[in-house]
Each structure stands twice: as C-alpha cells, then as structure tokens.
Structure 1
Amino acid sequence: MNSPRLFRLLGSVLAGAALSAIAVGARADEVSVAVAANFTAPMKQIASDFEKDTGHKVVPSFGSTGKFYAQIKAGAPFEILLAADDETPIKLEKEGDAVRGSRFTYAIGKLVLWSKKDGYVDDKGEVLKKNEFQHLSLANPKLAPYGEAGLETLKALGLLDAVQAKFVTAENITQAYQFVASGNAELGFVALSQVYKDGKISEGSAWIVPAHLYQPIRQDAVILAKGRDKAAAESLMKYLRGDKARAVLRAYGYDF
C-alpha cells in the first residue's frame, strides 16, 4: 500500500475513534445514589461493573435509610435511593419526592446473628436463649430495617425482655457490624451480606435467622425527583435488574 493511501486510511480510523470517544463522553454522566448501608459491598462491585459497561459514573453515599429520608426531604442532591426497606420509597413517591412508576424491589435481604468468634454462635441461635453474653449489637430499629428485624426476631422468640438491657444500639447496620467486629459486642444482628460471600460465612460464626421470625426485608430502589429524566439514573436502574448485577446479589446472599 502506498504511503498517501496508508496515511488517509490511518486518518480515517483515528478520526472515527475520536468521534466515538466524543460520543461516549457526551452520553456518559454521573448519578448520585443514596445506598442503604447493608448494600455497601455489593454496590461497590456493581458500581465498578456499571461504570465499565456504560461509561456512566456512580457517586454513592452509604448510610441508614431513615437518615437518607430526612436528607432527601431537606433537599439533598441524590438522584436514586437504594433503600433497606420498601416503605420509604413508597412514602417518597406519595409525597412527590420520587418518580412514580420507577420503584422496584432490587433485593430481599436476610438477617443473621453473627459473632467474630469461631463457634460462638450455633446454627440454631441457642446462644440467645443461654443469655451468657454481655453485649448484643443491634442497629437502631427506628432508622434501620435490619435493626427492626432483629427486634422482631427477639419478640418472636420471647427473648426481648431478657436481653434488651444488653443492647449496644448502632446508628446503622454498618456500625452494628463494626461493634461485633471490634469486639465491643460478642454478637449482633447484622445483614447476611456483610458476613457472607460466595455461598458461605466469610468469618466467625453465625445463625441465619429463619425468615418466618421477621417481616420480609424488601429493599426497593426508586428514582428521586432530582434524577427525573436523567440518562445515568435510568441506566443504573435498568442495570440493577440485569443478570450481571443479580449475580453479585446472589454472591452476597440476597434474594430478589
């Protein structure tokens, strides 16, 4: 091939690549997401995959659903809420702070009684009935659905009065986990996703609480008013329903 023709061909290829890059850059955008604390680890993985696959960037904030609700009502610039319950997104829809028709259940969470110590928690939760521990970590039931589920479990077992004085109440499920991981509590109710990976408990000992002992933890996603008609927000909501994201959910012990 002669040089002028080669240069023309190379020029066309480079020009096409440049135009493609410009087009992708024009389509790429950021989406600000309020993420329930129990979903921290899977969301970090999903966000990384999403950015690679779509070019859009996720800007996540992790915390309690109750606090996010207050921040959203105060005008926080979140575009999507990934809640730890289904009640908060429904409430935001009714109050005009979320896009009607965008809400769906992205995950169904599971509660686990966990200790960092091997063999401390048995596989039937009898450690609660023995009541020989000094501290039981629990996320604030008024702010965190997993904390509420822990409370429901103790009520169902008839153990609430016996152990309530031993509660170490955390602001959210991340802090509830940290209390146990640091040894400030011998055991605690946490999200299964915090201590589970690829089909097994990753550290310590645990009792996966039977689902009939607490109300289902349906975790709903919703586009907030500030995310209305935003391509990145709509793209992430679609991505959360896809096979790749759901494979991550399974790995962390969620149903959907």
Structure 2
Amino acid sequence: MKWLTLAAAASMLSLALAMPPMNDLHAAELRILAGGSMTGPLNELGPQFERATGHKLVIHFDSTPNLIKQATSDAPFDLGVVPIDVFKDSAAKARFAAGPAIEIARVGYGVAVRAGAPKPDVSTPAALKKTLLDAQSIAYIPASAAGAYVTGVFERLGIGEAMKAKTKVQTATTEIPQAVAKGDAELGVFLVNVLMAPGVELAGSFPAELQQELVFAAAVAADTKEAEAAKAFIGFLTTPAAAAVIKAKGMTPG
C-alpha cells in the first residue's frame, strides 16, 4: 500500500473537516455553473472532492453572459462558482439562496506572448499602449466579464477602435493561449491564470494604474435539493488545501 504524500494527506484532512459526517449525507450529483477561468482549479479540486465524499460534480464552464443566461433559464443547477458580475444581474442573483456569496478566488490581468518570443514592455500605461498598437493581432474573449474589462482598458488608453481590427475573438479561455502558441495571435490579453499555459509566456501584468482583480464567488442555488452537499463543496473550496491549489494555478485565494 502506498503512503499518502503530506500534501495529499493535508488535502484529505481539510476536506474531512469541511464535510459533515457522511452518514448525514447521501451521494449527490451536483450541477455547477462555473466561470471559464476557474477551469484549472476546479478540474483539480473536483476529483478530490468526489473521491472523498462519493458525490459527483457536473461542471459547466462558461463566460459571464452565458452563465447569466444559464442561471436565469429553467435549467436546474445546484451552485455556482462564478465571476462576481453574475450576482450583479438581479435576475441571476434571484436564482441563488439569500445571503452573501463566498469569495473563492481572484486574479488580475496580463499579456502573454508565444514561448521564446521577445517579451514586450507592459510596465506602464504608455508602454502597454505602445505594445498593443505595435502588435499585429491579439486574442481574448470580448463577450465575458474579463473581456469587458480588457475592452474598457483599450478605451481608457484611447485605442479602442484600433484594437477592434487586431482582435482575434476567442470563445473559451483555453483558446486564448492556444491561439498565441500556434501563432494565430501575437498577444494574449486576459486574466493572468488563463495565460499560464504550455506554449506561452507571461510578458507581464497590467500596470497598477490599469490593474483590477476579477473576483470569483460561490453560492448555493435557491431551489437546489442538494443544499448540504453544495455547501460542503463550497466549504471545501475555502480550505487551506484548496487555497494551495488555487494559488498554484495563478490565482489568489479568497
């Protein structure tokens, strides 16, 4: 029998502390709405939770506009781990249980280039503006909470129209670094954790004057029949073991 590593043991202990006794819970299938930029952490943490509890997670990753559509449709779900912007939509917020959402992770914005390519200067607003104007093409997801912020930064820099012609629109977070790695786009401009991927390298984060963190928060659906299991998963996402995974994936826990 193989011994557990210290990290695995710590993870299991944290999960055990977060969970009610298993004889008080039945094995549930949790339908989860999640921000696309949470793919990395949840794909690692989800299986840990499933192994320890017997519950099954069915996670739908998507952009903020589509998550709002999902939340406000008739489709059932049990909880969300979504950009805070979802809760700013009154119809979407009404689909979640009353009370504040639990902040799970946050992350800022940056610029990535193809691995091995020269890294342009993005350290000041003026440098970032020049880098963006000099680039032949950029990849990001305009139709998302993060993308809306990036578009806003272009407008603040006075280059909104110029960037429209350079934009290679992507539809999923994984497509952004892939486009840069394949040479389909010269720059990837998005959340830093999304840009931490094979084939690309981070040129740098947005300068402080233009930086803002996107917060991802969790809440239980108002009409879920699996409230206890949903609360247990959210509790697990706030444990030290989960925080270590979130941090390793390029995000700040809580």
**TM bucket by the smaller chain?**
0.7 to 0.9
Aligned to 1:52: 51
Distance 2:47 2:92 in 1: 32
Aligned to 2:106: 108
Q: Is the 2:39–2:61 Cα contact (8 Å) retained in structure 1? A: yes
Cα offset, 1:242, TM superposition: 1.0
- For structure 2, the 5+ residue unaligned runs are 1-21
Cα offset, 1:238, TM superposition: 0.8
Asked if 1:224 corresponds to 2:221, the answer is yes
TM-score (structure 1 length as normaliser): 0.77
Asked if 1:236 corresponds to 2:233, the answer is yes
Q: Is the 2:87–2:93 Cα contact (8 Å) retained in structure 1? A: no
Deviations, residues 3-40 of structure 1 (Å, cap 9, x unaligned) = xxxxxxxxxxxxxxxxxxxx669632221111111111
Aligned to 2:68: 69
Aligned-partner SS, 1:225: coil
Asked if 1:206 corresponds to 2:209, the answer is no
Q: Is the 2:112–2:203 Cα contact (8 Å) retained in structure 1? A: yes
Deviations, residues 126-185 of structure 1 (Å, cap 9, x unaligned) = 475143322111212xx3121122123323434334333211222343333333233211
Alignment partner for residue 250 of structure 2, among 238, 248, 253? Answer: 253
Deviations, residues 47-85 of structure 1 (Å, cap 9, x unaligned) = 02212233322111111121121122121222111112x
Q: Is the 1:146–1:190 Cα contact (8 Å) retained in structure 2? A: yes
Asked if 1:27 corresponds to 2:26, the answer is yes
Cα offset, 1:214, TM superposition: 4.1
Residue 127 to residue 101, structure 1, CA distance change in 2 (3 Å): closer
Residue 206 to residue 137, structure 1, CA distance change in 2 (3 Å): same
Residue 181 to residue 113, structure 1, CA distance change in 2 (3 Å): same
Residue 191 to residue 202, structure 1, CA distance change in 2 (3 Å): farther
Aligned to 1:154: 154
Distance 1:83 1:26 in 2: 25
Q: Is the 2:108–2:191 Cα contact (8 Å) retained in structure 1? A: yes
Cα offset, 1:239, TM superposition: 0.8
Q: How many residues align?
A: 228
Asked if 1:87 corresponds to 2:85, the answer is yes
Q: Superposed, which structure 2 residues align to 1:176-191 within 5 Å?
A: 176-191=176-191
TM-score (structure 2 length as normaliser): 0.78
Residue 81 to residue 225, structure 1, CA distance change in 2 (3 Å): same
Q: Is the 1:40–1:62 Cα contact (8 Å) retained in structure 2? A: yes
Cα offset, 1:44, TM superposition: 0.5
Which protein shows a greater Rg? 1
Distance 1:42 1:95 in 2: 24
Instruction: After superposing the two structures, state which structure 1 stretch, 111-120 or 123-132, moved more.
Output: 123-132
Distance 1:41 1:95 in 2: 25
Aligned-partner SS, 2:177: helix
Distance 2:49 2:174 in 1: 24
- Identity over aligned pairs, percent: 23
Deviations, residues 186-214 of structure 1 (Å, cap 9, x unaligned) = 112122222338xxx98434222235414
Residue 137 to residue 196, structure 1, CA distance change in 2 (3 Å): closer
Distance 1:220 1:212 in 2: 25
Amino acid at match of 2:177: Y
Aligned to 1:135: 137
Aligned to 2:166: 166
